[in-house]
Structure 1
Amino acid sequence: MPTRILRILRRSLTLKIFTLCFVCVHMPLIAVIAYLGSGFGAEPMPLLFLLLIATVAGTGLCFLGLWWLIRPLKELASAVETYQANGGSLNLAARSEDEIGTVTAAVSTMVTRMDGAVRRLHHQATTDALTGLGNRRWLSERVDDELARASRQAEPLSVVLFDLDLFKAINDSHGHHVGDQVLVAVAQLVRTHLRRYDLAARIGGEEFCVVLPRTRRADALMIAERLRKAFAALEMLPLPPGSVTASFGIYEAAPGDALQHILSMADKALYDAKRTGRNRIADAAQLASDR
């Protein structure tokens, strides 16, 4: 029976508060009963002094007890406010079995699930579902940070824009499922040939963008050439050898360039590569000097 009562007491905040207040309010009476029961006389002054001490002690004990019982709720509120202001994780351990412990555990679980759902939604919103590369939205978010970092540290940044040649003919002749396989294979080759800090995104049907931090145009040309050769060597049945090729446009960003301008300059170079025969690389800086 006592064990059951203790279990009920642990799980009920209301019962804890009631028990605490009951004991604290009746502490003067308990003290008087204990005093008289111990055989002491009923002189007025000692009794008044005892009542005063018991009242002060009961009040202090009640305050401390209530603070201790409600402290987890205050910690929960503080953690939620911090989470709302700064984000991050909400790691809270339920230290009691009462209602506050139940709410703390529930809030922690809900926030964890919500964070996971938000991360999944963000991943879905910024990732190309077919190739697994980033999409145009993801590219916009990341490139702004890379441009700002390159500007602060006075480092170069180059962009490679490429488009698969005659991709519509592949879809028309062999079906869209083959075209999808080509896109997936191309994305895998891009991952294989890039460094861990490079950025790659599919920004159109068969158009891709690669952002190369800390890279001059000469090095960007070499990376693009490796990709061009890898695509041309790709063997995919039922396509004949050499069916997968791409045209490339290269641009090294200048200080203060915005993403739209960078893509525009690389796109002009890409268009020139298409116009002059496909399966080749054009450099925006070279085009500008030729003019």
Structure 2
Amino acid sequence: MRLAGLKTTFNSSLTLKIFCTCFLSTHLPLISLAVYLTMSSHGNLGPIFIVVLSATLVGTIFCLGSVWIFLHPLRQVTRAIEIYRVKGHVEKISSLRQDEIGVVTNGVANLIRELDRKIEQLRRQAYTDPLTGLGNRHWFNEAAAREISRAARDKTPLALILLDLDHFKRINDEYGHDVGDKVLMAAGATIQDCLRPHDVAARIGGEEFSIVLANTNLDTAVEIANRLKTRLERIIINPLPNGRVTASFGVYQADPAKQSLKTMLKAADHQLYSAKRSGRNTVCSAAALS
């Protein structure tokens, strides 16, 4: 077992391999001298042997220290790769050396940083609606689940808002999809501007948006929905007439300890359709039974 462990250590350590090579190379003259002195018939050559042995030991220490210093950047690179693989954290590493190891160190460091930027860009694309800048449905499901778990754990209120732009298909049909896209972008910007930093908002359908309001009761959620309704009415997009951009709102105060996200969305959707049946551009609300 011990032999297998030494073999594993040797195979995984470049420093040990280089040191063993240098050690054997520097000790060959000493071994040759020892053999010569053993077979020689000359007088007392002990002092010579001691001097050569001492010089060899000093050379060995110098060799090990040099190898350790030369390979230090590679150990930094190895550690940075492992930290990035396990934790996703990019460590700042760089080398001022201009030799091969310096080039490799800086090259790998740049590659890790570039890889992290690309992964972050892909992550944003995977979770962000490109038109409005809000989260998409996949991101919303994850973020909302976290908020629900936190609210259930902390026993704090939680509310949902579903809003649907009124007669959005008519805008696309009458004015074109370019105008429709501008309406969606303006709606996304309005939602972002009206909400608090910790609120969760996403575009979950063509013209449908969903918002999770943490630590928020029904009255406050209705106030936020009405504020959004008023701000949407003020959006001006040519050639649409003023006040053409409106939305219907379904507000629901959930019970995080007993309800799932699916159940909450279904209840909020029920209020949304009540708002549509009431003539649109209105807010309907309800709360979970305690």
Scaled by the length of structure 2, the TM-score of the pair is 0.81
Give the letter aligned to residue 276 of structure 1: S
Closer/same/farther in 2, CA of residues 92 and 225 from structure 1, 3 Å limit = same
| Post-superposition offset of 1:43 | 5.8
Could you say which residue in structure 2 is the equivalent of 1:97?
98
Letter in 1 for 2:89: G
Q: Write the mapping of 1:141-180 to structure 2, written as runs, cut at 5 A.
A: 141-180=142-181
Q: Deviations over 1:117-142 (max 9, x none)?
A: 11111111111111111111121121
CA distance in 2, matches of 1:166, 1:266: 19
User: C-alpha offsets along residues 38-82 of structure 1, whole Å, 9 cap, x if unaligned?
Assistant: xxxx96232122122112222222222222222322232122112
In structure 2, the partner of 1:285 is: 287
**Corresponding residue of 2:224:** 223
Residue of structure 1 equivalent to 2:39? none
Number of equivalent positions:
261
Match of 2:267 in 1: 265
Quick check: 2:252–2:268 contact (8 Å CA) kept in 1?
A: yes
Contact map agreement 1:232 1:242 (CA 8 A) in 2: yes
Match of 1:122 in 2: 123
- 1:76 equivalenced with 2:87 (yes/no): no
SS across alignment from 2:287: helix
CA contact (8 A) 1:250 1:283 kept: yes
For 2:256 and 2:173, the matched residues in 1 are separated by: 43
Identity of aligned residues (%): 44
Deviation (angstroms), 1:215: 0.7
- Equivalent-residue separation in structure 2 for 1:243 and 1:75 (angstroms): 60
User: Which sits farther off after the overlay, 199-208 or 254-263?
Assistant: 254-263
> Which is worse superposed, 126-135 or 227-236?
227-236
Paired position in structure 2 for 1:209: 210
Q: Which residue identity lines up with residue 56 of structure 2 in the other structure?
A: T
Residue 27 of structure 1 and its aligned partner are, at CA, apart by 11
**SS where residue 103 of structure 2 aligns?**
helix
Residues in 2 aligned to 1:278 and 1:192: alpha-carbon distance in whole angstroms: 23
Counterpart of 1:275 (choices 274, 277, 284) is 277
Matched residue SS, 1:284: strand
Contiguous gaps of at least 5 residues in structure 2: 1-17, 34-42
Q: Bigger shift: 157-166 or 249-258?
A: 249-258
Return the alpha-carbon distance in structure 2 between the equivalents of residues 230 and 45 of structure 1: 98
* Counterparts of 1:198 and 1:282, CA distance in 2: 20
